[in-house]
Amino acid sequence: MKGNTLKIIDSHFHFRDFKGFNELALAAGHVNSAEHLRQAYAQYHYVHGVVMGNGTLDPEGHVYPEFMSYCIGLDSSGCNDHIEESLPLLEENLKRKQCCGIKLYPGYNHVYIYDSVYDPVYELAKRYDKPVAVHTGLTATANALLKYSHPLTLDEAAVKHPDVQFVMCHIGNPFLQDAIAVLEKNRNVAVDLSGLLEGKIHDMNGFLKAKEGYISMLRDWLCYLNRYDSVMFGTDWPLANLGDYVAFVKAFIPEQYWQAVFFDNANRLYRLGLEA
């Protein structure tokens, strides 16, 4: 780290390809464009972001600026009923350096992530040595089903596929206790802290005070877990403001772990090869 500036990697955000994103970005005090993100990244010392991909599996549909990497997403439009057929395109993505992992969307997809239908996906993750990030916890749409996105589902997947590196997105929020149990038991599961804020927070001190109980739960469970080498900063942008999110996470991660949580862990687990 040069000087005192903490470099930040956003290990979980979404970019461009969803309806309603322009409005979400505006509500969070941003604009949904690469140019705006470049400026906001500079302002808040973000150096890189990992896009959680949605939509097409065609590599041509995943073109991003150089300060972004992406996880190729198997969402409900990504032929979940036809995993076998989608494997060649999935592999084409994994061959690319800019593709740093796979993203699964259980809950939105009505399939358990340990279902054998995903076995060939995990085989590819192993072969290309790239993590599998898994949506866990609450979902943004009402027709999604929480039984598929509950963090406990990751326990069975992690046991079944011990050589795969998993990332539990959103720390299973609000099933925090179950999420921590899965993380404590399974060394091959890391966690990202994205998706816990929404919109622009105009009075951060007031917010932190009002949410004191929740924030202390996050702090206490992560302290109990004591695996700060597996915890990654992430925002779920465009849902939240980039400046707010840094202040929020700093409120429950002890300062001695900021370097690991805000930069080192994502750089190592997603093999981004960025200079510290």
Residue ranges that bind Zn ion, judged by CB under 5 A:
52, 236
Decide whether 52 or 196 has the Cβ nearer to Zn ion: 52
For residue 15, the minimal CB distance to Zn ion (Å) is 11
Nearest distance, CB of residue 57 and Zn ion, angstroms? 18
Q: What is 157-225 written as a DSSP string?
A: HHHH-TTSPEEEEGGGTT-HHHHHHHHHH-TTEEEE-TTS--B--S-HHHHHHHTHHHHHHHHHHHHHH
* Cβ atoms of residues 209 and 201 within 8 Å: no
Least Å from the CB of residue 194 to Zn ion? 6
Report the residue number, 51 or 189, with the smaller CB distance to Zn ion: 51
Whose Cβ is closer to Zn ion: residue 124's or residue 240's?
240
Distance CA 109, CA 148 (A): 8
Tokens, residue 40? 């906001």
> Smaller CB distance to Zn ion: residue 2 or 19?
19
CB 85 to Zn ion: min, Å = 25
Residue 174, amino acid:
P
Quote the CA–CA distance of 271 and 232 in Å, as a whole number: 13
By the 8 A CB rule, do 134 and 113 touch?
yes
Q: Which is nearer to Zn ion, 52 or 99 (CB)?
A: 52
Spatial CA neighbour of 18 closest among 105, 127, 121, 130: 105
In whole angstroms, the minimum distance from the beta carbon of 242 to Zn ion comes to 15
